[in-house]
Chain A
C-alpha cells in the first residue's frame, strides 16, 4: 500500500492504495465518482478522460500513486464550470449523446478544445476528438454541439 494525497474536484483526499490501482478505479471504487467511465482500459476509447492538473488524461492508464500531490477533476467537478455548462446545453440541443457512456469523456475533451481555442472549425473539432470513441451518434451531432458551444462562449451567438 502507498499513501496518496491529492485534490479531487477541489477537495483534498488521502488514501492508502495498492501501487497497481489505476486512477480510474481510485475515482470510481474509492471515491464513488462513477461519472468517469471505463470503455477499454487500454487508453484508446477516451471514456475515462479526466483532468489532471488541468490537462486531459486517461485515468485508466494512470496510476493513482502517480497522482500524489496533483489536482484531479472529473465530470462531477464541472457542474458549475462555464465551458461545461455551455457544452451541456449544446449537447442537449443538438442531440450530441445517445446512450451517454462516452459523454463524460467527450465533455472533458471538448472543454479542453474550447479552452485552448482549437474548436474553431469542424475539421479542428473532429481532429480534436480523435481520441474519443462514440459508438452511438456517428459524431456529427457532437461536432455540431461543440462548435455551437464554442461560438456561444466566444460571444458569437451560435446558441
Chain B
C-alpha cells in the first residue's frame, strides 16, 4: 500500500472529467451512432406468448435472404451457463427459439431491411404457428411443485434448491425471548439504462475478423461467448463497446440479440445492426429483484438478534444467462441476509425458480437490495417488539470496530471500518429532534411523517477465491492494464474494464499521475475494445476502480522502474542514488525528465544502458491482497411523508453516511452515491414489471413503468468516513453499487414509522399508493 499523497491531479483530487466534453458537445459515440456503408437494420420477431410450442415459422417467398430463424442458422450453439454449483440445472438458451418459447419477448426470427421501419414491416409478414401452453408465473407456488414444466427435461421448475447456513439455528430458537415472523417481497423490475442495448456487426474481409459493436460492460467476456456460440476462434472476433449509455449490470451478460446479430453479420454481405427500443428493453432485457423472503428472527429481550431462519424464493425467469446463471443472485442474497450485524446462527433455504418470464441478471446491488430490505425491515420489527428505538437496536447489533476483521456467519470477511459510528453519522445528517417534533405535531394536510434507517456492508472487488466459491465459470479475480509511454512522453493506458459513466478515463489517469507525476491531460485511457486492451473481465461487481486502478498503478510502477534505470545511466549515476521526483529521474548531478527518457527509449537506443531493451511498454495484472473482497459500508436514512388518503409517499429528506476507504475522486464518488440512491428510490416507490396470470408483462413503456424524475427526488446529504483497507492499492474499496442497496429498506422503515399510529406496515416494493392504501385497510381490519 502506498500512502496517498494528495496533489491537484492525483488520488484524492476532484478532477473534472475527461469524458465530459464529448458528451456536452453531442460528440459521444454510442452504438446507434456508428455509421457504416451498406448498414441495414434488424427487427426481431418476438414471442407474444409466455409459453408455447413453435409448430412452424413462415415468411413470404420474396423475403428470402432477409428473414432468418433457427432453421436458417443450424450451426449456432445455444448459450449454456454452467456454474460450478452442485445441483444446478443448466438450461440451453438459443439465440433463436427452436422448439419452444418460454417468455413474452423471446427472439424467434430476425428481419433485415435498409431501415428499422422497413424491417418492422417485414417482421409483420412473418407467420409463427404456436401451440399455446399454460405458463408458470408464480415462483413461490412453482417452488412447491407444478404440473407445468418450463424445461421439459427437468423434474420440476427449480434451477437449484440449496440451503445456506452457519451456526446452529436451534440454539437461537431455544434462547430467543422475542420471535418475529414476516414475509418480504420485492417485485420484478428492469435495469433501464437510458441507452438501451444495441449491437452492430460486420465481417472485416481484409482482416478476416468479425467486428461486433455492442453496448456492453464486458467486451472480453462477450467475445468469449460469441467465440463459443458461433464456433469462431477468438482471434477472429473484435468486440467494441463504444460509449455506453449506462449499464448498471443490465449489460453484463451475453444476450440472444448479441449472438443473433453477430451470426447474421456472417450470413449476409453487409453490416447489420439492431438498436433496442424501449418496449423491447422492458420485455426482453434482463429483469431483476423478484425475491420473496419468509423470515423468522430470534432475539433476546433487548432486541439483540441471535439467529435468522428464512426461506428465499428468487423468480429467475426462463433461462440461465451466460455465463453465470441466476444462482449468483440467490446466493448473494442469502449470504448478505445477516447484514452488517453480529448474528451467529443463520439458515436460509433457497429456491431459484424457472418461470415463463424474462431471464434475470445482475442489477446494481444484485442480491443485496433484497437482503437489505428483509433484514432491515426485520430489525425495526424486532426493535418494536423489544420496545426500543430501531436505530439503537440496529447499532447494538452491529459488528463493532474492535471485532474487525470479522468473519460473518455466512463466511464473508468484513475487512475494517466502524459500522456503529457510521450509523450515528448518518443520524446526524438529519435534524432528528425537528423531525420528531414535526411528527408529533402533525401535518396540516393530514400526512404522516416517519423516519427510517437501513445499514449494509457491501462486498466489492472480490478476488479469486470468492468467485471460485461462488462457482463462477470464469474468475474475475484480476484486472489488466497495458501501459504504453509514447516517444513524446504522453501515455496510453489500455484496460480491460469498460467505463460507462463511472469516469474511469479520469480516475485511471489520476492513478497514473500518482505514480508517474504525469499530467492526466497527457494520458489516454482506452477501454471497451478487445483488439486494444489485454483480457479483462469488464466493469461489474463494483470492481473497476480497485482492480483496474491497481493494474494501472502496477503498470505505472513498472514503467517507472525502467525509467529509473535509464535515467541513472543518462545521469551517470548509480541506480541506487537516483529517485523518481515530479515526472523526472533525479540524481546527485541533476535530473532527466520522463519526456527525454521516453524519446531515448524509442528513438535513440544507443543511449540506453546495456541490458535495457528499447520501448516503454508493459502489461500488468492486479488482484487485491484479499480474496473475499473489501467491504464498503453505509447507513442510509429517509424521512417520508405518507398521505393516508391517497397512499402517496414523498421522500422529504435523505442521508447517506458511508466509508469506501481511500477515495480517488470525491466528486465522482458522491455522484455514484447520489445516482445509486435515486435508483434505489425507484425500486422502493415506482419501478415494477407486473405479469398477469397468463405470463403477459403489464409494463412495456415509460407510461406503465415509472422512473424517478427530478421533480419528486430529494437532494441527498452525504457524510464520509475514510478507513483505507490494507488489502488494495492506496486503500481503495469499490462503491459503485452501494447507493442502490439501502433505499428500499430505509424508506420502508420510514413508512412503517409514519404509519405506526395506524398499525400498518409495508413489506413489499414498490410501495405504490395502491399498496399503501391496502396496508392501511388491512391494519384497520385487524384492529
Contact = CB atoms under 8 A, between A and B. Distances in A.
Interface of A: 18, 20-21, 25, 28-29, 32-42, 44-45, 47, 74-76, 79, 88, 91-93, 95, 97-104, 107, 122, 125-127, 129-130, 132-143
Contact of A139 (B16, B22, B245, B713): B713
A135 B194 contact: yes
Contact of B671 (A93, A100, A102, A137): A137
Contacts of A45: 194, 278, 702, 707
Given A18-B117, A138-B674, A138-B716, A97 B707 contact: no
B711 A129 contact: yes
Listed from nearest, the 3 A-B pairs whose CB atoms lie closest are A35-B26, A100-B23, A101-B245
Contacts of A95: 17, 667-668, 670-671
The residue in B30, B500, B711 that gathers the most chain A C-beta atoms within 10 A of its C-beta is B711
The residue in A33, A74, A139 that gathers the most chain B C-beta atoms within 10 A of its C-beta is A139
Interface in B82-128: 115, 117
B779 to A, nearest CB: 33
B502 A135 contact: no
B626 interface: no
Contacts of A98: 246, 501-503, 671, 675
B28 interface: yes
Given A34-B33, A38-B32, A100-B245, A136 B675 contact: yes
Contacts of B782: none
B74 interface: no
Nearest to A87: B24
B244 interface: yes
B245 A91 contact: no
B702 A99 contact: no
Given A74-B26, A100-B245, A133-B709, A37 B195 contact: yes
Contact of B195 (A39, A76, A79): A39
Contact of B23 (A38, A93, A97): A97
A100 B667 contact: no
B16 A36 contact: no
B25 A35 contact: yes
19 contacts: A29-B115, A32-B35, A34-B26, A40-B278, A45-B194, A76-B27, A95-B667, A95-B668, A97-B20, A99-B195, A100-B501, A101-B243, A102-B194, A107-B24, A130-B709, A135-B194, A136-B501, A138-B708, A140-B713
A33 B243 CA distance: 16
Contacts of B278: 39-42, 45
A81 to B, nearest CB: 11
Contacts of B503: 98
Contacts of B117: 18, 20-21
A136 B193 CA distance: 8
Given A40-B278, A129-B710, A99 B193 contact: yes
Contacts of A37: 30, 32, 194-195, 245
Nearest to A131: B709
Given A34-B32, A98-B503, A100-B23, A92 B17 contact: yes
B715 interface: yes
A32 to B, nearest CB: 7
Contacts of B245: 37, 39, 99-101
B29 interface: yes
Contacts of B195: 37, 39, 99, 101
Given A38-B32, A98-B502, A101-B194, A130 B710 contact: yes
Q: Is the interface of B mostly helix, strand, loop or mixed?
A: loop
Nearest to A123: B711
A74 B707 CA distance: 25
The residue in B23, B29, B716 that gathers the most chain A C-beta atoms within 10 A of its C-beta is B23
Contacts of B613: none
Interface string B350-385: 000000000000000000000000000000000000
A63 B244 CA distance: 27
B713 A92 contact: no
Nearest to B245: A101
Given A33-B26, A92-B24, A139-B678, 20 more contacts: A34-B33, A35-B27, A37-B32, A37-B195, A41-B277, A45-B194, A98-B501, A98-B675, A99-B243, A99-B246, A101-B195, A104-B26, A127-B710, A130-B709, A133-B702, A137-B675, A137-B678, A138-B678, A138-B679, A138-B713
Interface in B173-192: 192
The residue in A97, A132, A135 that gathers the most chain B C-beta atoms within 10 A of its C-beta is A135
B600 interface: no
B702 A42 contact: yes
Given A18-B117, A98-B502, A127-B711, A75 B25 contact: yes
Contacts of A21: 117
A91 B20 contact: yes
Given A76-B26, A135-B246, A99 B500 contact: yes
B750 interface: no
A49 to B, nearest CB: 12
Contacts of B26: 33-36, 74-76, 104
B194 A99 contact: yes
B227 to A, nearest CB: 28
B16 A135 contact: no
A18 B362 CA distance: 41
A21 B676 CA distance: 36
A44 B192 CA distance: 13
B618 to A, nearest CB: 30
A32 B60 CA distance: 33
B280 to A, nearest CB: 11
Contacts of A88: 20-21, 24-25
B138 interface: no
Nearest to B16: A92
Contact of B674 (A100, A125, A126, A141): A141
Contacts of A33: 26
Contact of B702 (A34, A40, A104): A40
B22 A100 contact: yes
B207 interface: no
B671 A135 contact: no
Nearest to A102: B194
A8 to B, nearest CB: 13
B19 interface: yes
A69 to B, nearest CB: 24
Contacts of A135: 192-194, 246, 248, 675, 679, 707
B115 A99 contact: no
A79 B702 contact: no
Contacts of B671: 95, 98, 136-138, 141
Contacts of B244: 99
Nearest to A108: B26
